[in-house]
Chains A and B, each alone.
Chain A
Amino acid sequence: MAANNRTTALARRRTEPAVERGIVSSHDRRRPSVRGSLGALQGGLLVTLVLVGLGPILWLAKAAVTPTQDTLREPLGLFPTGVDWANLSTAWSRAEIDHYFVNTLIVAVGAWFFQLLVATTGGYVLSVLRPRYGNVIFGLVLATLFVPSVVLLVPLYLTILDVPIVHVSLLNTFWAVWLPMGASAFNVLLVKRFFDGLPREIFEAARVDGAGPFRLLWSIVLPMSKPILGVVSVFAVIAAWKDYLWPLLVLPDPENQPLSVRLPAIAPYLELDVFLAALAISTVLPIALFLAFQRLFLSGAGLGGAVKG
């Protein structure tokens, strides 16, 4: 049970200080030699993490407001001829980062909506309503877990060009990104397992009170499912923000492209300082989100690199 585990993990973390012990025992920790070397190692690790993890990002922040020639001649100098704030506004307007930023948001929000919609309704049907055809569908959904996305690249692309039954082309529409992202077996599974763990008695009681399936979903199940919805949301938004190859294929019109697709395309036409400013701007929001929802991100990451597959 994903979310239960998550909550227990969180609970455990909260109570950690009281019972915690690691490889080094509390007794050893009090020995100066152990404390010294452990401290040195951890200090070293901290410095390394700052240099490697934070360093490139800080460099980007610096380069974003440094004139091109300074960045080229002294890439590691600190503002040899001063700060050039205009880079940011030039990137924002001339490189139309604002436009592509909005596109990125649209892609992410839509992808989030459809992933959540499919995962919650799907998980609800499979776990709570359980129609007779449920097992077949569940099997089919599970089967897609074993199909790597690379297999779908070309046939899915051709499907987008001519959607079966309705025969329209979704190319250059955001639907082409949103809908395929909705077909995430991992999300359906995650949500279904969570719903499986909810107490059935509540559902029965609600049914006795005359709640139909829609009411039950909206008023009972969803409010109880905030933790898992949070996890799915984080995965959904991150995945949409990071995606490159798929939007590159289905959004060839620059008008609709998100930043990830647009940045490499405009790189040859931008002056270096403006380009680096554009990169920096594109990084701000994800980092801000991360800092704001750190715990959600980290517990989501701990929950499994399984999304990678």
Chain B
Amino acid sequence: MTTLSSPLRTTTPAQPPSSSGPRRRARRTPRDWLRDGGLSTLIIALPMILVFGVFSWFPIGRALVMSVQETNLVTTPEFVGLDNFVFVLQDPLLGKAVANTLWFALLALVFGYPLPLAAAVLMSEVRRMRGLFSALAYLPVVVPPVVAVLLWKFFYDPSGTGVFNTIAGWVGLGPYPWLQDASSAMPSLVLEATWAAAGGTVIIYLAALVGVRTELYEAAEVDGAGVWRKIWHVTLPQLRGVLFITLILQVIGTSQVFLEPFLFTGGGPNNATLTILMLIYDYAFGSSLGGNYGAATALSLMLAGVLAVLSAIYFRVTRPWSS
């Protein structure tokens, strides 16, 4: 648990211990400022201010402006009120993209949530070679995501001699169309995404399991509890926090999924894997004759709104552990 607390305290910036004398002076002249090292402080702060200013704060402000403008880099931007939002909300593809993204998130939870937990619990009981277990579990995370997708794209070859279809053939199944069918494309994407990410989740759980207070197991044993009851009544309750965190993080992560649908299927077949971020990309960069940047930003902001709520829940829930 402790290892997780660091990013979680962020909502309550620690109050600095009370400052020393000069800073409290009510009025300071520029010369005082200089003498106190104000200039060097500013110089040291400059990388942060410049980089955040230009590449974070400025674009965020720009997003707000652009969402109410019609802009395509060619003509002068024009204020259009909420037209961009209306355009996006009326786009028949929006519903599809939202549904697909939710479907991806749900499948990702079904594939990628219980298995890493079970693996982590089992691994925490390993006495020897735990390092080997962790390394093996984490290995796919290290493979560059693009390589993983391109490799799996080959694995998903729909012909009878595809890698997965050959394996399925050994037990008399298949051949399956994998990516080439509207109903199996999304699960195929999620399977790869889970392979690529599950190792990280396992390691998070494993770190959390180290923090489980073991004396409770003894107490449970005194009450005559078996292994399953110990897991159910002692382990899982103590993992509740981290389970919730990974849940939220996974939902936030999957709601921005792009790489897999973009490289595996280009959003097809028949838009079955078109996700929200792909739609944003299409709005902005999909047309060879200029992007609809306003609509792209409007949709981004709407997605951000939903994610902000999730983030807020995340911080709210995690706050108790940091105190």
Are A and B in contact, CB atoms below 8 Å, in the complex? yes
- Residue B154 lies at the interface, judged by CB distance under 8 Å to chain A: yes
- Residue B297 lies at the interface, judged by CB distance under 8 Å to chain A: yes
Which A residues touch B161, using CB under 8 A? 72-75
If A144-B52, A301-B203 are given as contacts, then 18 extra A-B residue pairs at C-beta distance below 8 Å, sorted by A number, are: A21-B214, A23-B124, A52-B140, A53-B199, A73-B161, A114-B51, A122-B47, A147-B56, A148-B304, A153-B280, A153-B296, A245-B262, A267-B150, A279-B147, A279-B151, A283-B143, A305-B250, A309-B249
Q: Are A24 and B125 in contact (CB under 8 A)?
A: yes
Which B residues touch A302, using CB under 8 A? 3, 203-204, 206-207
- By size class, the interface of chain B is 35 or more
- Residue A59 lies at the interface, judged by CB distance under 8 Å to chain B: yes
Complex interface bits, A116-158 against B, C-beta within 8 A gives 1, otherwise 0: 0110011011010111100101111110111111111111111
* Partner among B14, B54, B201, B284 whose Cβ is within 8 Å of the Cβ of A153: B284
Q: Are B210 and A12 in contact (CB under 8 A)?
A: yes
* Partner among B3, B60, B293 whose Cβ is within 8 Å of the Cβ of A5: B3
- Residue A260 lies at the interface, judged by CB distance under 8 Å to chain B: yes
Q: Which of B52, B258, B304 has the most CB of A within 10 A?
A: B52
- Residue A271 lies at the interface, judged by CB distance under 8 Å to chain B: no
For residues 239 through 297 of chain A, which have their beta carbon under 8 Å from a beta carbon of chain B? 241-242, 244-245, 249, 259-261, 263-264, 267, 272, 275-276, 279, 282-283, 286-287, 289-291, 294, 297
Q: Please choose the segment from A42-50, A79-87, A88-96 that sits at the chain B interface, where 4 or more of its residues have CB less than 8 A away.
A: A42-50
CB distance from A258 to the nearest CB of B (A): 9
Q: Please choose the segment from B37-45, B92-100, B182-190 that sits at the chain A interface, where 4 or more of its residues have CB less than 8 A away.
A: B37-45
CB distance from A159 to the nearest CB of B (A): 5
Which B residues touch A125, using CB under 8 A? 41, 44-45, 48
The secondary-structure label for the interface of chain B is helix
Nearest 9 CB-CB pairs, A to B?
Answer: A302-B207, A2-B6, A122-B48, A155-B59, A306-B7, A49-B136, A155-B62, A301-B203, A260-B146
Closest partner residue, chain B, to A186 (CB atom) = B7
- Residue B179 lies at the interface, judged by CB distance under 8 Å to chain A: no
Q: Are A188 and B143 in contact (CB under 8 A)?
A: no
- Residue B137 lies at the interface, judged by CB distance under 8 Å to chain A: yes
- Residue A106 lies at the interface, judged by CB distance under 8 Å to chain B: no
Complex interface bits, A6-31 against B, C-beta within 8 A gives 1, otherwise 0: 10110011000000111111001000
CB distance from A184 to the nearest CB of B (A): 9
- Residue A109 lies at the interface, judged by CB distance under 8 Å to chain B: no
CB distance from A178 to the nearest CB of B (A): 10
Bound CA span A276–B59, Å = 39
Bound CA span A131–B5, Å = 27
Which B residues touch A158, using CB under 8 A? 59, 62, 66, 73, 293
Known pairs A49-B133, A50-B136, A309-B311; A75 contacts B146 (CB<8 A): no
Instruction: Give me 27 A-to-B residue pairs in the complex whose CB atoms sit less than 8 angstroms apart, sorted by A's number.
Output: A6-B3, A9-B3, A21-B217, A23-B227, A23-B231, A23-B234, A25-B221, A45-B119, A53-B138, A56-B195, A122-B45, A122-B48, A130-B19, A130-B23, A137-B49, A140-B57, A142-B11, A142-B13, A150-B277, A154-B66, A155-B59, A155-B62, A159-B58, A190-B7, A264-B146, A282-B147, A289-B142
